[in-house]
């Protein structure tokens, strides 16, 4: 755990069920990068009040987990294309009271596809139907991939992530 000081920037996780894994990961990276940041996880049942707290307390930002990824869209000032494309937010940055929402899962996949010039005629198989799967499918579709299949335990959830994907036979 970093030693707290008055110049430290606070980043938080807002989740229905936060875990210590993300907290340890973020704090490890902040220390490794020499950043004067600390990351703490919080549970909330009132996402509007929590987001108002991020703004009002001057937190540097927050990560957003289920079940709040869609609900926070109406609570921020700006929405980057990565979040708008899938109507799902996983990161909010606070720049002097201006809250900007993005989806770093979408950004990471889109960036990797562009950096490695992956052939969009290749078939894509995505396993799962959660928020990450939604971001992955949208990033592949945004990069011109047409042959995208989702494998999910629940056919309705899988179809919602990738409406034109093929159902398993």
Whether 33 and 8 have beta carbons less than 8 Å apart is answered as no
Of 137, 147, 66, give the one whose Cα is nearest residue 105. 137
DSSP, collapsed to helix, strand or coil, labels residue 41 as strand
Provide the β-strand partners of residue 37: 9
Rounded distance between C-alpha atoms, residue 132 and residue 111, angstroms: 15
- CA 22 from chain centre, in angstroms, equals 13
* Helical (H) or strand (E) element with 59: none
- Residue 66 sits at the vertex; the CA angle it makes with 99 and 102, to the nearest 5 degrees, is 30
Catalytic residue (one of 40, 69, 134, 157): 69
DSSP, collapsed to helix, strand or coil, labels residue 40 as strand
- 157 catalytic residue (yes or no): no
Q: Which residues are catalytic?
A: 69
């Amino acid at each position: 755990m970093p030693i707290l000081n008055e110049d430290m920037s606070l980043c938080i996780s807002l989740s229905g069920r936060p875990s210590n894994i993300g907290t340890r990961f973020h704090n490890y990276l902040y220390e490794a990068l020499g950043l004067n940041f600390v990351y703490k996880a919080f549970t909330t049942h009132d996402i509007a009040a929590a987001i108002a707290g991020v703004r009002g307390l001057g937190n540097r930002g927050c990560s957003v987990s289920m079940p709040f990824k869609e609900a926070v869209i109406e609570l921020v000032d700006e929405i980057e294309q990565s979040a708008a494309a899938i109507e799902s937010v996983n990161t909010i940055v606070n720049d002097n009271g201006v809250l900007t929402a993005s989806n770093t899962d979408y950004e990471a996949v889109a960036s990797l596809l562009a950096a490695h010039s992956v052939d969009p005629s290749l078939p894509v198989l995505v396993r799962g139907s959660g928020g990450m799967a939604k971001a992955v499918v949208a990033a592949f579709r945004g990069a011109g991939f047409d042959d995208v299949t989702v494998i999910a335990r629940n056919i309705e959830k899988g179809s919602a992530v990738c409406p034109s994907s093929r159902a398993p036979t």
